Amino acid sequence: PQCFRKEAALHARPAFHPTVASACQEQRTGTVGFKISKIIVVGDLSVGKTCLINRQWLADALKENDPSNVILFLVGSKKDLSTPAQYSLMEKDALKVAQEMQAEYWAVSSLTGENVRDFFFRVAALTFESSVLAELERSSARKIGDTVR
Protein backbone atom coordinates (compact mmCIF):
# COMPACT_ATOMS: atom_id res chain seq x y z
CA PRO A 1 0.00 0.00 0.00
CA GLN A 2 1.07 3.56 -0.66
CA CYS A 3 2.17 5.82 2.17
CA PHE A 4 -0.35 8.03 3.93
CA ARG A 5 1.54 11.27 3.31
CA LYS A 6 4.51 11.53 0.94
CA GLU A 7 5.91 14.38 3.06
CA ALA A 8 6.70 11.92 5.86
CA ALA A 9 7.40 8.71 3.98
CA LEU A 10 10.92 7.37 3.92
CA HIS A 11 9.92 4.47 1.70
CA ALA A 12 8.33 6.02 -1.37
CA ARG A 13 8.87 3.22 -3.90
CA PRO A 14 5.59 2.04 -5.47
CA ALA A 15 6.59 -1.65 -5.44
CA PHE A 16 8.88 -4.16 -3.71
CA HIS A 17 12.63 -4.02 -4.35
CA PRO A 18 13.35 -5.94 -7.60
CA THR A 19 15.35 -8.60 -5.70
CA VAL A 20 12.42 -9.24 -3.37
CA ALA A 21 9.92 -9.28 -6.25
CA SER A 22 12.07 -11.82 -8.10
CA ALA A 23 12.43 -14.04 -5.01
CA CYS A 24 8.64 -13.92 -4.49
CA GLN A 25 7.91 -14.78 -8.12
CA GLU A 26 10.30 -17.72 -7.92
CA GLN A 27 8.79 -18.70 -4.54
CA ARG A 28 12.21 -18.49 -2.88
CA THR A 29 11.21 -16.48 0.20
CA GLY A 30 10.47 -19.47 2.43
CA THR A 31 9.70 -18.43 5.99
CA VAL A 32 10.91 -14.99 6.93
CA GLY A 33 10.50 -13.83 10.51
CA PHE A 34 10.50 -10.31 11.86
CA LYS A 35 10.16 -8.54 15.16
CA ILE A 36 7.77 -5.68 15.81
CA SER A 37 8.23 -3.44 18.82
CA LYS A 38 5.42 -1.21 19.94
CA ILE A 39 4.53 1.33 22.57
CA ILE A 40 1.21 2.82 23.52
CA VAL A 41 1.14 6.17 25.29
CA VAL A 42 -2.16 7.61 26.45
CA GLY A 43 -2.66 11.09 27.89
CA ASP A 44 -4.09 14.53 27.46
CA LEU A 45 -2.93 16.83 24.69
CA SER A 46 0.30 18.78 25.19
CA VAL A 47 1.55 16.92 28.28
CA GLY A 48 4.81 15.65 26.79
CA LYS A 49 3.98 12.15 25.50
CA THR A 50 6.08 12.62 22.36
CA CYS A 51 9.06 13.90 24.33
CA LEU A 52 8.81 10.86 26.60
CA ILE A 53 8.80 8.52 23.61
CA ASN A 54 11.70 10.30 21.92
CA ARG A 55 13.86 10.36 25.07
CA GLN A 56 13.22 6.82 26.36
CA TRP A 57 11.57 4.28 24.11
CA LEU A 58 13.06 5.35 20.79
CA ALA A 59 16.62 5.43 22.14
CA ASP A 60 16.15 2.02 23.77
CA ALA A 61 14.63 0.52 20.62
CA LEU A 62 17.53 1.75 18.50
CA LYS A 63 20.04 0.31 21.00
CA GLU A 64 18.32 -3.08 21.01
CA ASN A 65 18.05 -3.35 17.22
CA ASP A 66 20.23 -2.71 14.20
CA PRO A 67 19.43 0.99 13.51
CA SER A 68 19.95 0.49 9.77
CA ASN A 69 17.19 -2.12 9.77
CA VAL A 70 14.58 -0.28 11.87
CA ILE A 71 11.40 1.06 10.31
CA LEU A 72 9.68 3.70 12.45
CA PHE A 73 6.06 4.83 12.23
CA LEU A 74 4.44 7.73 14.01
CA VAL A 75 0.73 6.97 14.20
CA GLY A 76 -1.80 9.57 15.25
CA SER A 77 -5.02 7.95 16.40
CA LYS A 78 -8.41 9.39 17.25
CA LYS A 79 -8.52 11.37 14.01
CA ASP A 80 -12.31 11.27 14.26
CA LEU A 81 -12.28 13.41 17.45
CA SER A 82 -10.69 16.44 15.78
CA THR A 83 -12.33 19.19 13.82
CA PRO A 84 -10.79 19.76 10.38
CA ALA A 85 -9.07 22.91 11.69
CA GLN A 86 -7.64 21.10 14.75
CA TYR A 87 -6.55 18.19 12.62
CA SER A 88 -4.76 20.45 10.16
CA LEU A 89 -2.70 22.03 12.96
CA MET A 90 -1.94 18.69 14.61
CA GLU A 91 -0.95 17.17 11.28
CA LYS A 92 1.62 19.90 10.67
CA ASP A 93 3.18 19.17 14.07
CA ALA A 94 3.00 15.41 13.50
CA LEU A 95 4.72 15.69 10.12
CA LYS A 96 7.49 17.74 11.71
CA VAL A 97 7.99 15.21 14.53
CA ALA A 98 7.91 12.29 12.07
CA GLN A 99 10.59 13.91 9.93
CA GLU A 100 12.74 14.57 13.01
CA MET A 101 12.36 10.93 14.10
CA GLN A 102 12.87 9.68 10.53
CA ALA A 103 9.54 7.92 10.81
CA GLU A 104 6.64 7.47 8.45
CA TYR A 105 3.53 9.34 9.62
CA TRP A 106 0.00 7.95 9.57
CA ALA A 107 -3.27 9.32 10.91
CA VAL A 108 -5.89 6.70 11.75
CA SER A 109 -9.22 6.35 13.49
CA SER A 110 -9.99 3.17 15.37
CA LEU A 111 -13.61 4.27 15.69
CA THR A 112 -14.29 4.69 11.98
CA GLY A 113 -11.51 2.38 10.76
CA GLU A 114 -10.08 5.12 8.56
CA ASN A 115 -6.56 4.16 7.37
CA VAL A 116 -6.24 1.32 9.91
CA ARG A 117 -6.20 -1.51 7.37
CA ASP A 118 -3.89 0.38 4.99
CA PHE A 119 -1.51 1.20 7.83
CA PHE A 120 -1.16 -2.42 8.95
CA PHE A 121 -0.73 -3.60 5.36
CA ARG A 122 1.97 -0.94 4.93
CA VAL A 123 3.81 -2.09 8.08
CA ALA A 124 3.60 -5.73 6.96
CA ALA A 125 4.76 -4.98 3.41
CA LEU A 126 7.74 -2.82 4.41
CA THR A 127 8.77 -5.25 7.15
CA PHE A 128 8.47 -8.24 4.80
CA GLU A 129 10.57 -6.51 2.16
CA SER A 130 13.24 -5.54 4.68
CA SER A 131 13.37 -9.05 6.15
CA VAL A 132 13.60 -10.77 2.77
CA LEU A 133 16.34 -8.40 1.58
CA ALA A 134 18.35 -8.99 4.77
CA GLU A 135 17.97 -12.75 4.51
CA LEU A 136 18.88 -12.78 0.81
CA GLU A 137 22.00 -10.75 1.59
CA ARG A 138 22.97 -13.13 4.42
CA SER A 139 22.40 -16.15 2.24
CA SER A 140 24.02 -14.82 -0.94
CA ALA A 141 26.55 -17.64 -0.74
CA ARG A 142 23.75 -20.17 -1.27
CA LYS A 143 23.07 -21.36 -4.77
CA ILE A 144 20.21 -19.91 -6.79
CA GLY A 145 16.95 -21.73 -6.23
CA ASP A 146 17.50 -22.44 -2.53
CA THR A 147 14.65 -21.50 -0.25
CA VAL A 148 15.37 -18.74 2.24
CA ARG A 149 14.69 -19.98 5.76
The structural domains of the chain, with segments of one domain joined by +, span 39-140
Q: What is the model's pLDDT at position 149?
A: 53
Model confidence at 34, pLDDT cuts 50, 70, 90, reads low
pLDDT at 119 over 70: yes
Model confidence at 133, pLDDT cuts 50, 70, 90, reads confident
Tens digit of each residue's pLDDT (9 = 90 or more) over 50-93 = 665 656 777 777 787 777 778 888 888 878 888 889 888 888 88
Residue percentage of the chain with pLDDT more than 70? 73
Q: How far is CA 35 from CA 14, 28, 83, in A?
A: 24, 21, 36
Q: Is the pTM of this model over 0.85?
A: no
Best CATH choice for the domain 39-140 from the list 3.40.630.10, 2.40.50.140, 3.20.20.140, 3.40.50.300: 3.40.50.300
Q: What is the model's pLDDT at position 148?
A: 53
Residue from 39, 36, 40, 98 nearest 65 by CA: 36
